[in-house]
Structure 1
Amino acid sequence: MLDEALLRSLTPQVLGILVRRGADFAAAEDAVQEALVEAWRVWRDDPPRDPKGWLVTVAWRKFLDVARADAARRRREDVLDDEPAPEPAAAVDDTLQLYFLCAHPSLTASSAVALTLRAVGGLTTRQIAQAYLVPESTMAQRISRAKRTVSEVRFDQPGDVATVVRVLYLVFNEGYSGDVDLAAEAIRLTRQLAGVIDHPEVAGLLALMLLHHARRAARTTSDGRLVPLAEQDRGRWDTRLIAEGVEVLQAALARDRLGEFQAQAAIAALHADAPVAEETDWVQIVEWYDELVQLTGSPVVRLNRAVAVGAADGPRAGLAALAELEDSLPRHTAVAAYLHERDGDLSTAARLYAEAALHAPNLPEREHLMRQAARLNTELG
């Protein structure tokens, strides 16, 4: 049986070897993808003893075939024709450099995500397109442009860890659709990154993903309706993932180099620690949001902090914190509706829920807000 996980884990290693041999990034990535297609065809009946060496050999030959056919590269053929022995494959792990390259600051966020999924994640263009619900041709163009952009970047240039973790966070937040679960893929890639770089924010991001993913089964009903955190069946939370996430977080926090992903993970851990919603330590959650505000200055963080303040100090305190923010912020109206409901002003809350539904970013959230408005209007009679 073909081991898809093995194929995908070997992808960045093989790509790194080709680039170090002199192939430009775009051509090397194309060759690796062709080798993966060949592996899918051949390995089911005749798996190789050295999968990595096999992929390197086939990908290098694919690259040479293209190079020989390209008149502009014919002058380099003397060098390229000196094909290295296929075994043993190079032991150097270039995964970290590939992460840096795919999250290059010259790329847009969407292009960096797509290129990371293809070059480091080993996904096909079709799989990525299905996950993003866009035509395959559109995704192919996006990836092609991204590859051209980074082709001139030196492979040994230092990269920015903050940019890499931001890209992986974006992958995780895309959720899942099609036949690729992007949340699970983001966790896999972040685990891989944590294995090649010792950085507390990489660990913090991994912990955050694990803690959020642990609640996934309880987030929706069987018919796709959203279930708010306070109403979730905590018996459906994955305690194994929670335990791992807390362990990873504690080790990161012990480094005393706090970053935003560690702070977010700490908030998620406090939610996970409460056996029932009523026992949530909202005071400590507000303190962590204060840390996040200091770290990021993000208005979205301030918005989430207002919810926490409302739970810790009462809805009017939450509304006071909310009043300090621009009402054009995404989900501002939904937060206002929630706090007004907790304060007993059902009429205002119903109106705001209905207004928030008009600007919801997706259908499940829109339907949830509409149900909240309908529920309150029914209570008002």
Structure 2
Amino acid sequence: MKNWTQKIALALGIFAMMFLTACERPPVESKQTGYRGTGMDQISNPRTDRQLAKLNELPPPMPSSADGPKASAVYKNVKVLGNLSAAQFSAFMVSMTSWVAPNQGCTYCHNVQNFADDSLYTKTVARRMIQMNQSINSNWSDHVKTTGVTCYTCHRGNNIPQNIWFDTVDKRGGNMLGNTNGQNDPVKANAYSSLPKQPFSSYFVANANAARVIGDTALPTGHKATLQSTENVYGVMSHMSHSLGVNCTFCHNSRAFSSWEESTPQRVQAWYGIQMLKDVNTNFMTPLTSTFPDNRKGSGGDVAKANCATCHQGVNKPLLGKSMLQDYPFLAPNNGKPKEGNQVAKN
């Protein structure tokens, strides 16, 4: 009898562990962000917050001087940042190496026998990524504000940012099951849900769809959402929520999800973020397709692209809102000046 009791207790213990695995262990804190009764609360866990704070610590800046000759006069084949002093340029190269290739060092992008040589594809990509940083910081202040981004925002010491996506979707199943639209295959990108695991090609590239389920007319004469497109919308919304570590009500009023007037200001900022991703993926990443080798491409031959998690990595403000631009102002040459060409009609 005793053995049976022990076995039952063990079984119940294992069941409880499995059942409670996805639950938050107290204490859990909540903060009301909207009217009572609308469910507009943000939930946080102090233990998780401490872990995220450690993961979002800033690397120490590399000191340099603006005095002295320009980099373009000292070094050969300097196509970007040639207006910096040689000391600033060298310091930034050291910083960039620590952010992107700490293990490989300078050899990740350069032929150390001839630093002016452009034979390594990584050097071409790095130049374009510097220009992408400048574009984001100069033209997308509606999303990044004055905090901005640097290479470290996404890379965090990795050659390839840990959160990227490719065009292809795994369409599991044969003729009987049909196209599963990437569902029932939980991954981090879709918040481990059964929703489509790669909805990004529908929203984060040029000429993408609006992430809308409800039509914008009183009668169903305009927008008509299919079941599959609706699943994609919820998939990308789950991705955004998980990537920022927030609830749906961080942007939406739970009593009227579709209403812009009743949404929080963060919804507008998030909308600009989607437009920014379209710009980044269309004008900076996709044009590099022929530059990247095949082993750096997806199964469909496309290059890696950015989504919300690429920068945010679990917090609603990348690096918890701490800016690095005061140490690298040349990555935001037009920050605060009027923007041109990036205003897109809201939909």
Higher RCO, 1 vs 2 (CA within 8 Å, ≥6 residues apart): 2
For this structure pair, what is the TM-score category when the shorter chain's length is used for normalisation? Answer: under 0.3
TM-score w.r.t. the length of structure 1 is 0.22
Write 1 or 2 for the structure with the bigger share of helix: 1
TM-score w.r.t. the length of structure 2 is 0.24
